[in-house]
Structure 1
Amino acid sequence: MVRGGRLRGAAAVAFVVALLALLAGCISEPSGGPVISYSMTQGPGGQSQPLPQIIAQPPAAGWAPVQIVRGFLAASASFAGGQRIAREYLTTKENRAWTPNWSAVVYSSGPKVGEAAYTGTGSGRAAKVTVSGPVQAFLSGTGGYVAPSASATGGAPGGQPTFRLEKVGGQWRISKAPPYLVLTSYSFQYDYQLRNLYFFDPTGSHLVPDPVYVPLQATTASLMDGLVYDLIHPPGDWLSRGATSTSFPGKTTTIGDVTLTGGTAAVNLGGAIAKGANDKLMQQVSAQLLYTLIGSGGSGPAVQSVQLSVNGKPWSPRGSDSNPVQQLRQSKYTPANGAYSRFYYVDGAGDLLSRVSSVSKPVKVAHIGTGFTQIAVSPDTQYVAAVKNGSLFTGRVGAPLVRRAGDGYTSLSWDPVDDLWATTGDQIVMISGAASPSQLAGKPVAVSVVNSDGTTQNVGPFTGLRVAPDGVRVAIIVGGNDLDFGAFVQLPNARPGQAAVRIVLSQFYVSVPSATFTSLTWYGPDNVIALRDPGPELTEYPVNGGSSTSIPAQPHMSSITASLGNPLIASLPRGAMVADTSLSGSWTPVQGTGISAVYPG
Structure 2
Amino acid sequence: MMRGRATRFLAALTALLVPLTACASIPEESDPVAVREADERNSTLEATPPPDNLDPLALVRRFVDSASPASNHEAARMHLNDLQARQWSPAPDVLIVTNVDTIPTPQPEALPDGVQMVTLQADRVGRLLPDASFRPEVGEYETTMRVERQPDGKWRIATPPPEIVVSRDAFSSVYRSVPIYFLDHDSTGVVPDLRYVAAQPASTLPRRVIDLLTAGPSEGLRSALHTAIPPGVHPRTNTSEATGDGALEVNLSNLGTVSEETRWLIAAQVVFTLQKVSNARVRLQEEGMPLLSDTQDLRPTDLTTYEIDNMPRPDLGGLAVIDERLKRLDSRADPVPGPAGSGEYQVVRAGQSPDGRWIAAVTRRAPDEVALRVGPYGDALAELGPVGSFMSKPTWRGNSEVWTVVGGREVVRARHGSDGWTVQKIDAAPFTGGRPITDLRLSRDGTRVAAVVDGRLVVGAVSDRDGGVVLERPILLPAPQQAQVLGLEWRDKETLAVITDSNSSPVYDVTVDGFRWRPYTSANLGQPMKSITVGPGPTVIVADRSNIWASRDPNDVWSLLEPRIGSSSLPFFPG
State whether TM-score is above 0.5: yes
2:290 equivalent to 1:324: no
Counterpart pick for 2:463 among 465, 489, 493: 489
Question: In the alignment, which residue of structure 1 is the partner of 2:507?
Answer: 538
In structure 2, how many angstroms separate the alpha carbons of the residues matched to 1:400 and 1:86?
63
1:324 CA displacement: 1.6
In structure 2, the residue matched to 1:472 is 447
Give the SS at the match of 2:273.
helix
- Aligned residue number for residue 521 of structure 1: 489
Q: Which residue of 1 aligns with 2:358?
A: 382
The letter of the residue matching 2:389 is: G
- Residue number in structure 1 paired with 2:533: 561
Match of 2:218 among 229, 236, 240: 236
The range that moved more, 545-554 or 174-183, is 174-183
| Equivalent residue number for residue 40 of structure 2 | none
Is the Cα–Cα contact under 8 Å of residues 580 and 586 in structure 1 kept in the other structure?
yes
Give yes or no for the alignment of 1:192 onto 2:175: yes
1:309-348 equivalences under 5 Å are 309-316=285-292, 318=294, 322-340=295-313, 341-348=316-323
Report the alpha carbon displacement of residue 195 of structure 1 after superposing the two structures with TM. Answer: 2.3
Cα offset, 1:11, TM superposition = 5.1
1:396 aligns with 2:372: no
> Structure 1: how far apart are the matches of 2:424 and 2:212?
40
Q: Tell me the distance in 2 between the aligned counterparts of 1:415 and 1:87.
A: 49
Distance 1:148 1:161, change over 3 A: farther
Displacement of 1:179? 11
Query: Are the aligned partners of 1:345 and 1:354 in contact in 2 as well (CA < 8 Å)?
Result: yes
Residue 407 of structure 1: CA displacement? Answer: 1.1
Taking the aligned partners of 1:390 and 1:485, their CA distance within structure 2 comes to 28
Q: Quick one: distance in 1 between partners of 2:88 and 2:248?
A: 28
- The one-character-per-residue Cα deviations of 1:58-91 (angstroms, maximum 9, x if unpaired) are 5979x9xx99x97995585335688555566899
Deviations 1:224-258 (A, max 9, x none): 22211111112532212x01122211111112322
Instruction: Report the 3-state secondary structure (helix = DSSP H, G, I; strand = E; otherwise coil) of the residue aligned with 1:204.
Output: coil
2:190 paired residue number:
207
Residues 59, 88 of structure 1: 8 Å contact kept: no
Q: Deviations over 1:167-214 (max 9, x none)?
A: 999x99999999974546665455433222221112112322212222
Over residues 338-363 of structure 1, what are the superposed CA-to-partner deviations in whole Å (9 max), with x where a residue is unaligned?
A: 32232123454x653335xx336736
Residue 212 to residue 579, structure 1, CA distance change in 2 (3 Å): closer
Offset of residue 549 of structure 1: 4.5
Q: Distance in 2 between matches of 1:406 and 1:391?
A: 6
In structure 2, the residue corresponding to 1:471 is in which secondary structure?
coil
What is the Cα deviation at residue 590 of structure 1?
0.8
- Residue 372 of structure 2 aligns with an amino acid whose one-letter code is F
Aligned residue for 1:27? none
Consecutive unaligned residues of structure 2, counting only runs of 5 or more, are 10-16, 24-45, 106-116
Amino acid of the structure 1 residue aligned with 2:507: L
Deviations 1:71-123 (A, max 9, x none): 99558533568855556689999999999998435578899999xxxxxxxxx
Deviation at 1:413, TM superposition (A): 1.5
Conservation of the 8 A alpha-carbon contact between 2:411 and 2:428: yes
Q: TM-score, normalised by structure 1?
A: 0.67
TM-score, structure 2 normalization = 0.70
The structural deviation recorded for 1:284 is: 1.8
Q: Which residue of 2 aligns with 1:144?
A: 133
User: Are 1:226 and 2:226 counterparts?
Assistant: no
Residue 104 of structure 1 is matched in structure 2 by 94
In structure 1, C-alpha distance between the alignment counterparts of 2:129 and 2:398, rounded to whole Å: 33
Contact 1:194/1:546, CA 8 A, preserved across alignment: no
| Compared CA separation, residues 88 and 549, structure 1 to 2 (3 A) | closer
Partner residue, 1:458: 433
Query: Which amino acid in the other structure matches residue 339 of structure 2?
Result: H
Question: What code does the residue aligned with 2:132 have?
Answer: G
Specify the code of the residue in structure 2 equivalent to 1:228.
I
Residues 9 and 84 (structure 1), Cα distance of their counterparts in 2 relative to 1, 3 Å cut? closer
Asked whether the 8 Å contact 1:448–1:503 carries over to 2, the reply is: no
CA distance 1:225–1:515, change in 2 (3 Å) = same
Give the alignment of 1:19-58 within 5 angstroms.
56-57=48-49
- Determine if contact 1:200/1:244 at 8 Å carries over to the other structure: yes
Aligned positions, number: 511
Q: CA RMSD in A?
A: 5.3
**Distance in structure 1 (CA, Å) of the matches to 2:271 and 2:79:** 39
Identity of aligned residues (%): 18
Query: Where do 5+ consecutive residues of structure 1 fail to align?
Result: 1-5, 14-31, 39-53, 115-128, 297-301, 451-456
Question: Residues of 2 paired with 1:521 and 1:568: CA distance?
Answer: 9
* In structure 1, C-alpha distance between the alignment counterparts of 2:158 and 2:539, rounded to whole Å: 61
